[in-house]
Amino acid sequence: MATTSRSLYRTLRLRSFSTSTKPSHHNSHQQNHQYTDPNSFIGCWEAPKDPKEAEAKLAQLRRDYAKQVKEVRKEYIQEVELMRLEKLRKDEARKEALRLQNEERKRLKAEAAKVRAQQREVAEQEFRQTLCGKWKGKFVGSGID
């Protein structure tokens, strides 16, 4: 009995969330949707009495519709081309930024290597001077120069 009420509560709780009418990122498009204007072809046909006139009118409607479809396709092709060019531009900008980052990183790495080499050289020089100073100190009293 307790498990039944618990599962019923869980089901009701989940159902209340899933049927919520509050706008979220999943269903906000329903409130923001922009409908297109009604098409002039829908409901415009009135059957004429003469079959030849009906055929001519239908042919004219088909031509007009074909022109509209051609325009829509042309606009779509232009939009796709613009999107492709924008993507290319963004890719090129990203590649250029990566190239500049790589150059900067290599330059910094080379500078760090130079600094380490200078420090190593200074340390070796100090070590040589220290060794030479110790040897001179030992041989100064013995008469060996």
Tens of pLDDT, residues 51-103 = 888 899 889 989 999 999 999 999 999 999 999 999 999 999 999 999 999 99
Length of the chain: 145
Residue 92 included in any domain: yes
Residue 122 included in any domain: yes
d(CA 65, CA 109) in angstroms, rounded, equals: 65
pLDDT score, position 143: 54
Q: Which residue has the higher pLDDT, 15 or 135?
A: 135
Contact 31, 15 (CB under 8 A): no
Residue 81 included in any domain: yes
Total domain count for the chain?
1
pLDDT band at 2 (very low <50, low <70, confident <90, very high): low
Residue 87 included in any domain: yes
The model's pTM = 0.45
pLDDT at residue 104 tops 60:
yes
Residue 34 included in any domain: no
Residue 105 included in any domain: yes
Rounded to an integer, the average pLDDT of 10-15 is 56
d(CA 29, CA 93) in angstroms, rounded, equals: 32
Q: How far apart are the first and last CA of the chain?
A: 106
pLDDT at residue 3 tops 60:
no
pLDDT band at 121 (very low <50, low <70, confident <90, very high): very high
Rounded to an integer, the average pLDDT of 107-125 is 97
Q: Which residue has the higher pLDDT, 136 or 66?
A: 66
Residue 83 included in any domain: yes
Q: What does the angle CA 120 – CA 140 – CA 135 come to, to the nearest 5 degrees?
A: 25
Residue 19 included in any domain: no
Residue 54 class from Cβ within 10 Å (0-12 exposed, 13-18 middle, 19+ buried)? middle
Query: Domain residues for 97?
Result: 52-135
Contact 106, 114 (CB under 8 A): no
